Structure 1
Amino acid sequence: MIEEPLLQTVCGDLESQLPINEQLPEGGMLHIDKVLPYICIYRYKKPDLYFSGLLKTQASYLIVKDTVDISELIQCIATSMSKKLNSFLILEMWPERNNHDATFEISCPKDKAPATIKALQIGIDEMRLIYPEVSSTVNDTNMRHPDRLEPLMTIDQSKASGSLTIGISVPTIYQRPSENQVYSIFYRKFATYLSEIIKRTVFEFIRVQTSNPYDHFLMLGKTSLDKITMQADHDLAEISEGMSFLLRTTPVNSSEQWEQFKESKFSKKPSFTYRLIALDPEQEKRKLYDIPIEKVDDPTLAYILRDKRLEIEKQLTMLEERGTDSFRFVGESLYGRIEEDVLNGAKEILNTFSEGENASEIDKFTCHEFAEHAQKEIDYYQEKFPHLKLALEIRSDVAGIMVSETTLLISDQLNMDSNRCDALIQHEIATHILTYCNGKSQPLKQMYAGFAGYDQLQEGLAVLSEYLVGGLTKNRLRLLAGRVVAADSLVSGATFVDTFHLLHKEYNFPERTAYYITMRIYRGGGLTKDAVYLAGLINVLDYLKDGGKLETLYAGKFNTNHVPLIEELIYRNVLKKPELPRFLERPSVQERLQQIRKGITLTELLN
């Protein structure tokens, strides 16, 4: 039985609209994230961690031993929520282990909430995508609970509290019937599907039955991050940041090797050297898999963290294999193969614009002149993010321009076209640094450390900014296309010298440009990452043409396949909306955005 003080605490917190996270007798747990029109209940005879895990994906659940009397607690919850929302849904769920039977049995009153039951059945039918034998039956009965137990409330109590109870017998198809063995990969998919099915069902219920304060079913999800999730997120970010992957895979002697390559009349492969790796990849991997991501209840967050862990593992392996062919092979599995449409797009650009602009006719900026302009943009965003330190550094150990977290790194050898200044500032500062700052302002560290495969969207978005401010030049677009062609050449087995000559002789890149493209592709043993710039641009153009929200893309560092997850977390108030780049305020930028939304080809970006 629930003691009176605990009842009073729960009822008081509900009245005050406070989140509830209470331990119940016999190891039970009550969790209510916010004012919600439903609760999922599981009364167990023996604890079942996996079935409990299905309920814990929800923002409102009660898991308790079946010997504990929770009738007064349920009435308190139902009555309090009904007063606020006019009605309340109780979903009592229990596991059914009938060999390989995959039938969900739904027990409910006939014609009481047909739209709700239909939504539940439709969701269960969609589970056939992961398990074809799944089905459901609906029983018109007052027995909406396991046979061995008493009902949670009588019919009269349900009416008095303004609640509706639906019983759901869930087939444990994720578990081997004769053994205590779980199919872990399938279980995660099962939990993810069931979690969404429940939220969609509840959303249909509140649409019809309650005064609905929610605009989307995703808003029914969890708002708060628990300690296990926060710690796993923190540990992953710490390992990821400690790698300094790009710095450790970028040569420190590229300028010197260019001079030697030129002296050899472009016939001798350069010999690159790299920063020492001040970590042990094996120990980092051990720490990586000590992170208990399997204990993260939220399917969305668990997916994000698990996906990131796999990426970090591959990057650590690449650091171990730096300078070998294995570096390239692992990198291809990480960054993906070069898609045919991307390669075709690159060749179309290079064939359409067979010659670059005459660099001698364009005014140049030194590193100091560029830094003067960049500092003004950094100062603007520094005011937006006073809790972070934004800076720029002119250094001798970087090639060109790059960003490390909130710092813009500029090569002391930089000699750039002046008409590219604004575009590069928006690329590096208003995209890479801004998304880092936005991510750093979120509770989830992966938002700034970067989701798995985030480079593709980051670079596509950054190149898009160049187009939007009118700074995407023929030379720049050819450069992106050249990187794709060079990556394809690497994958096809060509040597450094072969790829250099392909770029220089067949595609008319200047010698120095062809060298630096080739260097970036062949560094470390072969890094096809540079192909993602053009691939990312294609993805962003398609995303905007299909009606995607540009604003969402600035929330942090992730890929386009993560956008639905980001929007879900924003709906759930786990994440907040981002600061946007100030160049979006320019009328000319809005005009170009409209052109993109209508549809535009790669070569039309220069018209």
Structure 2
Amino acid sequence: MQIYSLDQMLSLIKRGETFSGQLASSGCVITIQEYLPVVCTAIHAGHNLRPELIKLCQLSAEERYFEEDPFTDEVIASQPITLAGSDSRFEYDLNRPKSLSTYYKSAWMKQVWRKPLSAKQRAISHAKHQDFYRLYEALIAKLESMFGMVIVFDLHSYNYKRIEKATPVFNIGTSQIDMERWGSVVHKFQRELKTITLPNVEVDAELDVAFEGRGYLIAHTNARFDRTLVLPTEIKKVFMDELTGEVYPIVLDDLKLGLKNAFSATSAYFQRKLNRQSKTRSADMLSSAIEPEVLEIDAALFRLAQKVDTLKYVNPTNLAAERRRFMKAPSRFKPNFAYRQLPIDANEFKYRLYRLPIDNIADPALKQLYKDIVNKLGEQIDLLTSVGQEGFVYNSLRYHGRPDKSAIANAKFLLYAKEIPEERGESLDAHQVCEMMKQSAEQWQMRCKIGLSGAIVARAMVCSNPAQLAISTHAQFHESEVQRLIQHELGVHMATTLNAKQQSLKVLRLGLPGSTYTQEGLAILAELKAGFMAHSRLNTLAARVLAVDSMLKEQDFYLTYSYLIDELEMDKDDAFMTTARVYRGGGFTKDHLYLSGFLDMLHLSKTRSLDNLLVGKTSVQYLDLLDELVQRDWLVPPKYNVIPTSNLEESPSLNYLIESLRS
């Protein structure tokens, strides 16, 4: 951490420059990611004592730690401007006036010093106290001059086991707040705190129940500034064992995320109501500068995982030969698919994967995202290393899941409904389709390679690195189907591939957890929105759901194939390809996601914009975060977005059929 003198910090603040570092003359750590009218303080987070004072102190490190506010500096780290103390409150208490900040005799009924501190020792601590407040005053003065009104979240934590009465998880002290003037903001913050959810903790937020906010930081602010609101806030130590000091990481992570949202929502409300910035959103109260730690971890993760491509190693290399062998003796056929060799040492990969310093990320939502990516990549490696083996199907279930009762019911409903006819148009071969795809890509100004391939199971498939679209040489196409493929493969899969390359976060090229469900759902939604959906297309998706279900039950290629022909009346060629899709690798369950993903994207699109799901290989479970990151300029809006905003499908019968499906 960089060390600055007080004069250097004051000069940087005066010039409005961002910086992060420790004040040389004290234990104050300040971070200014961006100048915004919101400050978070954690003045009791520190534990350090000067060596000469350690010898004089009667309290053990554990006893001091018990009365300090550990982790409060971590809790506020996602905010644009933070001030945290790294020195112990037992040396000088920043929440008391300077003359009272050095405990002379006792604290909490315990003798602190073996003998009274000398005047020189107290003077050193008082100077640290004074420098903190000189820095704090300069910061608040700068922010008031820039924005008018300023809000300060003064964060503390408290021990509750020694308190006999029930106490809230969050307590806002209002004794020094002008409630007539600031009351609406106080109550807004209280409401936001009440929305926080913590595992196995009943969350409540009250005013003046455990503490009344009589500290010095708010008093000092009130005495010198008229346009700054300080919110003294105490957190019950539910995130740790207050007696042993053991932390509960899951609770702490959820607390960080909940408080990030509460701080930014309250700050945005403060801006709208008091600074007359009517269009301010929560994301506007967070820094637009990407954390360097995020970029470092993102780059390391991308370097490690960029060659992990499930379909490349799950698709059989001898599909055509196996198809010929099957047609000669279907009932005796046992798949003998061949696969590419995986050039990845699984143990070495996982070792490097789990050593990535994800905990260094300050933003709790980003930290959770990268944790999820790491865990999902671990599952993906297990899947790839078991291709062609008995354990593959179990790893596939862990990675992609299985169709539930609702998905199976939807599939049967579609397949057993009376067929809604479509005009299929003329028949086209792969070469003609390739030319049509090239024309559409040129029209949408997509720079990508489009060609033919005899080694893919799907009729068409987009690969990311390099960006290219492969058309199956074995397939025959009708004109209506080609229009759907254009929307599906180019309009979504190629668009998200190219959009991902525009982003600072490279993990959007890899695919977020749940990206298959979301991306395939979006791609099918694009077919519908463009007016090219057909009952036959929905039946194809439904057949895949039931094929996966059959594979899991029967574990017999011929039985699944026969089910598709006899029960679902599929064409023999289509039945073989559908069966091969679900038996490749040893039992691949991915295909059940298409139909349910489509239905969820369709229903969600009626209530909110899905545009930011196109910024890369995204997942709907992170849509709120993606919207926030676009608003904060961490991500750029999708350059390629050709999905129609309204539904162009004009068939009332087909619309009714789709609306009848369960989401």
TM-score, scaled to structure 2 = 0.82
1:244 Cα shift?
1.6
**Higher radius of gyration, 1 or 2:** 2
**Counterpart residue identity of residue 222, structure 2:** I
In 2, Cα distance between the equivalents of 1:456 and 1:64?
45
| Gap change, CA 1:92 and 1:527, over 3 Å in 2 | same
1:213 Cα shift?
6.3
- Which range moved further: 249-258 or 390-399? 390-399
CA offsets, 1:347-384, max 9 Å, x none? 111111569989xx963322221111111233344x46
| Gap change, CA 1:169 and 1:265, over 3 Å in 2 | closer
| Gap change, CA 1:438 and 1:49, over 3 Å in 2 | farther
**Number of residues of Structure 1 aligned to a counterpart in Structure 2:** 584
Query: In percent, how many aligned pairs have the same letter?
Result: 22
Match of 2:433 in 1: 370
2:515 maps to 1:454? yes
8 Å CA contact 2:171, 2:210 repeated in 1? no
8 Å CA contact 2:154, 2:231 repeated in 1? yes
Match of 1:515 in 2: 576
Match of 1:46 in 2: 47
8 Å CA contact 2:221, 2:230 repeated in 1? no
Runs of at least 5 residues in structure 2 that lack an aligned partner in the other structure: 49-68, 88-124
User: In structure 2, the residue corresponding to 1:402 is in which secondary structure?
Assistant: strand
Match of 1:104 in 2: 170
User: In structure 1, the residue corresponding to 2:225 is in which secondary structure?
Assistant: helix
8 Å CA contact 2:168, 2:209 repeated in 1? no
User: In structure 2, the residue corresponding to 1:153 is in which secondary structure?
Assistant: helix
Match of 2:63 in 1: none
CA offsets, 1:484-529, max 9 Å, x none? 0011112224421111111011100011111111111111111111
CA offsets, 1:564-599, max 9 Å, x none? 121121222222211243463xxxx74527999x97
- Which range moved further: 475-484 or 133-142? 133-142
1:603 Cα shift?
7.7
TM-score, scaled to structure 1 = 0.89
1:420 Cα shift?
1.7
Match of 1:21 in 2: 20
Match of 2:542 in 1: 481
CA offsets, 1:431-456, max 9 Å, x none? 10101111221111122221101011
CA offsets, 1:450-481, max 9 Å, x none? 11010111111111222233333343222111
Counterpart pick for 2:622 among 537, 544, 562? 562
8 Å CA contact 1:92, 1:145 repeated in 2? no
2:641 maps to 1:581? yes
| Gap change, CA 1:76 and 1:340, over 3 Å in 2 | same
Match of 1:390 in 2: 448
| Gap change, CA 1:567 and 1:529, over 3 Å in 2 | same
Match of 1:8 in 2: 11
1:151 Cα shift?
6.0
1:145 Cα shift?
6.7
Match of 2:388 in 1: 323
1:89 Cα shift?
1.3
Match of 2:94 in 1: none
**Counterpart residue identity of residue 577, structure 1:** P
More helix by share: 1
User: In structure 1, the residue corresponding to 2:374 is in which secondary structure?
Assistant: helix
Match of 2:223 in 1: 156
8 Å CA contact 2:6, 2:23 repeated in 1? no
User: In structure 2, the residue corresponding to 1:90 is in which secondary structure?
Assistant: strand
Match of 2:101 in 1: none
8 Å CA contact 2:430, 2:473 repeated in 1? yes
User: In structure 1, the residue corresponding to 2:229 is in which secondary structure?
Assistant: strand
1:40 Cα shift?
0.4
1:24 Cα shift?
2.7
1:124 Cα shift?
2.8
8 Å CA contact 1:92, 1:166 repeated in 2? yes
Match of 2:462 in 1: 403
8 Å CA contact 1:115, 1:205 repeated in 2? no
User: In structure 1, the residue corresponding to 2:636 is in which secondary structure?
Assistant: coil
8 Å CA contact 2:221, 2:228 repeated in 1? no
8 Å CA contact 2:454, 2:473 repeated in 1? yes
8 Å CA contact 1:352, 1:603 repeated in 2? no
Match of 2:658 in 1: 602
User: In structure 2, the residue corresponding to 1:182 is in which secondary structure?
Assistant: coil
CA offsets, 1:20-42, max 9 Å, x none? 43443356432233331210012
Matches within 5 A, 1:491-530: 491-530=552-591
2:613 maps to 1:553? yes
Runs of at least 5 residues in structure 1 that lack an aligned partner in the other structure: none
In 2, Cα distance between the equivalents of 1:593 and 1:447?
31
8 Å CA contact 2:29, 2:86 repeated in 1? no
**Counterpart residue identity of residue 394, structure 1:** L
1:211 Cα shift?
3.1
In 2, Cα distance between the equivalents of 1:283 and 1:87?
53
| Gap change, CA 1:514 and 1:442, over 3 Å in 2 | same
**Counterpart residue identity of residue 305, structure 1:** Y
Match of 1:120 in 2: 189
- Which range moved further: 513-522 or 332-341? 332-341
